[in-house]
Amino acid sequence: MNIGQAAKKTGLSAKMIRYYESIDLLPAAGRSDSGYRQYSPQDLHRLAFIKRARDLGFPLAEVGKLLALWQDRQRASADVKALAAQHIAELNLKIAELCGLRDTLQVLLEHCQGDDRPDCPIIKDLESNGCHRPQSG
């Protein structure tokens, strides 16, 4: 199937498929006589694997490692588990950072009167790089 059909079947854009080829996550596609990329069922299976790994938030470098482990039938599941555990640790850090950002913005929102006056703690915080943040409570 051509790249448009592969894109539709996998839910990826043609641009993303070409990008995955360019960074060697996907082997270069075969070409038709007219020069169009042609994808096999194995290519589609690999693209589905990549898409699912990306949907789970794995960075591209880790997707490459997962692909290598997937292809290695002698792999230890402990290697896969270690990659997933590291990813969970990174996700937990990001979640903590996002919660902190949300909490800070919530405090600023609670202190903003939201009226016709120009005085706004949100703007003050942005202009002062967080140095004049109102205290919660």
> Max alpha carbon distance in the chain (Å)?
70
> CATH assignment of 1-75?
1.10.1660.10
pTM for the full predicted model: 0.81
128 token code pair: 């002062």
Local confidence pLDDT in tens for the 137 residues of the chain? 999 999 999 999 999 999 999 999 999 998 988 888 999 999 999 999 999 999 999 999 999 999 999 999 999 999 999 999 999 999 999 999 999 999 999 999 999 998 998 999 999 999 988 776 666 65
> By three-state DSSP, how is residue 37 classified?
strand
39 token code pair: 């994808």
Q: What is the dihedral of CA 113, 118, 121, 125, to 10 degrees?
A: 160
Domain boundaries, the chain: 1-75
Q: Which of 88, 12, 2, 95 is nearest to 50 (CA)?
A: 12
